[in-house]
Amino acid sequence: MLTQAPKGTRDVPMTESYKWQYVEERIRRMTALAGLREVRTPMFEHTELFLRSVGDTTDVVQKEMYTFMDKGGRSITLKPEGTASVVRSFIESRLYAETLPAKMYYLSMPNFRYEKPQNGRLREFHQFGVEVFGAPLATEDAELIALAWNITSSLGVSGLELHINSIGCPECRARYYEALRAFFAPKLSGMCENCKGRFERNPMRLLDCKEEACKAAAAGAPKMIDYLCEDCSSHFETLKQALSALGIAYTIDPQIVRGLDYYTKTVFEIIARLPEGPLTVCGGGRYDHLIEEVGGPAMAGVGFGMGMERLLMVMEQTGVVIPKPDLLEVYIANYGEKARMAALELCAALRREGVRADIDHVGRSMKAQFKYADKSGAAYVITIGEDELTGGQVKLRHMESHVEKPFALSDAAGIAAFVKGQNHAE
Ligand code: ATP
Ligand code: MG
């Protein structure tokens, strides 16, 4: 037990974190290009927030939340998703009174869901997400979909599919619910207990159930897009036009209803076709009533969440190679007490000059120190022993070519300039 992480959690060991950093850097660059700023919110919130926003008929709320009473008797829930917190924070910090729209993202945000751990399904996972508040037009939906899409394709992921749908607004959805109830009523006895419970309050949830029997029962169900009101219908038309203008191919998929209650109009998923089956890497949509529902002003919202573990998993499975950065640029091998002190000083000076450098603190043999230098990817090694101390000169040895260049022991700036100029480890 002691050496086993809790079920459904995964470490990112130091040997793997460069992959996360690579993806995170790409995301930061692309979100900055789109004028988004980062938001950070706490890991837990009042349970009430999720009941109100995610919706109490959803799988997330009914089965998956990590909820507990804290020592002050408050019901607390570890965040199962990102949007509710971001909305809460936006309202609490009164950002709605400032320049709108507000465009923000969160990166590698931890989310917790008590799910059956399996391929691509963890109990603690991380999301990159985007939320835009105050932009009601469908062109914004298209921009966000394009951002999510372009991030995945710029990371080299191929074979993804974009599925879009519209789930309308409360007005047109009421008519659709009636049609759905009429469709499901004769089949309900063969469906799961959850679905029976949701039939009255939220029959659209029946389309999202993962039970085999329920999936079968949902085949041929009426489609929301056939029930859209004029406003929702023209929103959907504009979305399709804008996606085409941006060169993003999509499939209209009436099965996409999303797992959370707050969506209106546009919903979408980016799906990877893996050998074990389809896996949703990114999901999102519009939520024009959520901000008001949580206690803010009436304001449009649209966003998406992308699972970081799933994205990395799909990258790996589709053969994307993430370049492994070299740990060090210069390694300073040394022998003898005095030499170690000089190495310590030179190393510190090199780091001040922006060079990634390290020295031996193990007292290993020269041979072992060179081996370590090689493994750490250092392009150069400097050796310091008696002779170098007496002469005040060191040689910067290029590991690959064995070419050596002399420098004064005190000339960290010169060494740094040379190393950087050669651009070996950049
Ligand atoms: P699913 O239908 O796969 O359960 P969901 O609709 O519950 O997904 P969202 O709430 O839309 O998922 O979450 C956004 C993204 O977060 C998903 O597209 C996925 O990439 C990721 N995600 C969701 N649940 C998990 C999980 N348990 N483990 C890892 N990633 C997850
Ligand atoms: Mg889920």
Mean pLDDT, the chain, rounded, equals 95
Atom of ligand 1 nearest to the CA of 270: 18
Token pair of 102 as six digits: 């507000």
C-alpha 59 – ligand 2 centre gap (Å): 7
* Nearest atom within ligand 1 for CA of residue 307: 20
**pLDDT tens, residue by residue, 348-386:** 999 999 999 999 999 999 999 999 999 999 999 999 999
Q: Choose one of 12, 86, 107, 125 to mutate for the ligand 1 pocket test, by most ligand atoms within 8 angstroms of C-beta.
A: 125
Question: Could you say which ligand is closest to the alpha carbon of residue 259?
Answer: 1
| Residue 331 confidence (pLDDT) | 98
Instruction: Tell which CATH classification among 3.90.650.10, 3.40.50.800, 3.30.465.10, 3.30.70.3460 matches the domain 330-420.
Output: 3.40.50.800
* 208: exposed, middle or buried (Cβ count in 10 Å: 0-12, 13-18, 19+): buried
* Ligand 1: centre distance to CA 135 (Å): 25
Residue identifier of the C-alpha nearest atom 24 of ligand 1: 121
Give this prediction's pTM.
0.93
Which residue ranges make up each domain of the chain? Answer: 17-169+229-317, 330-420
What is the Cβ-side half-sphere exposure of residue 69, based on CA atoms within 13 angstroms? 3
Separation of 288 CA from ligand 1 center, angstroms? Answer: 21
216-272 pLDDT tens trace: 999 999 999 999 999 999 999 999 999 999 999 999 999 898 877 789 999 999 999
Cα dihedral 352, 357, 363, 364, rounded to 10, equals -170
DSSP 200-257: HH-GGGGGS--SHHHHHHTTT---GGGS--HHHHHHHHHHHHHHHHTT---EE-TT--
Residue 17 has pLDDT above 60, yes or no: yes
Q: Which residues of 167-200 are buried (b: 16+ CB within 10 A; e: fewer)?
A: bbbeebbeebbebbeebbeebeeebbebbeebbe
Which residue among 79, 112, 149, 310 has the greatest number of ligand 1 atoms within 8 angstroms of its CB, and so is best to mutate?
Answer: 310
Topology (CATH) of 17-169+229-317: BirA Bifunctional Protein; domain 2 (3.30.930)
Pocket of ligand 1 (CB under 6 A): 81, 113, 115, 120-122, 125, 127, 259-260, 280-283, 305, 307, 309-310
Write out pLDDT tens, residues 48-72.
999 999 988 888 998 999 999 999 9
Which residue carries 């007292």 as its tokens? Answer: 363
Residue closest by Cα to atom 18 of ligand 1 = 282
The region that residue 357 occupies, defined by phi over 0 for left and psi between -120 and 50 for alpha, beta otherwise, is beta
